[in-house]
Amino acid sequence: MAFNRFLGSPGRAVSPAQAQDTDTVRRIVRELEALPPDRARYLASFAYTLTRAAAADLEISEVETAAIERIVEEYGGLPPAQAILVAQIAKTQQILSGATEDYLVTRQFREVSNLEQRLDLLRCCYLVGAADDTITAEESSTLQQIAHELDLDREQVNEIRNRFADKLSAIQALLARRAG
């Protein structure tokens, strides 16, 4: 208990969930203070993981950013301005934090979500990856890693992936060779 006091504000104990929050999740949660803390943590890790999917090819395009903002607004039930702010913070944190934070935040989402929510997140990650009409090999690899970290089985992942087959760069290249 004494350790928890160092993590929170003076005189305020920190819950076990708050103690496990990464810096990324804490920063986004502060922007969502009007929401119940568990919901804010959930949305923070959701938004960051979407950004992770977009950044897999080392570039987050404007169309991917717009997709993240739209998904955070719709899925999170946030007003547009707040969704944009959450998406921008997640984007900045992803650029600053990188690989270790990616795993920790995705694992945190897994711990605070149920199976259907984890499947929804993966579907949304595919939507972000496909926002520019192509899911690159790097994005595809990251999407597979996210699915693994969310503890989704191969059948569940393949069902989602198959819906986006025409957006996979490898499939697009194969079809272009056949047409050309």
Whether the CB-CB separation of 57 and 136 falls below 8 Å is answered with yes
pLDDT tens digits, one per residue of 39-57:
888 998 999 999 999 999 8
- pLDDT at 167 exceeding the cut of 80: yes
Please state which of the ranges 5-19, 38-52, 69-83 shows the lowest mean pLDDT: 5-19
Contacts of 94 (CB under 8 A, 6+ apart): 24, 48, 51, 52, 55, 60, 101, 102
Distance CA 132, CA 116 (A): 26
115: Cα separation from own chain's centroid = 15
Task: Give pLDDT, residue 114.
Answer: 96
pLDDT tens digits, one per residue of 90-130:
998 888 887 778 999 999 999 999 999 999 999 999 999 99
Chain mean pLDDT for the chain: 84
Distance CA 168, CA 61 (A): 17
pTM for this entry: 0.80
pLDDT tens digits, one per residue of 137-153:
999 999 999 999 999 99
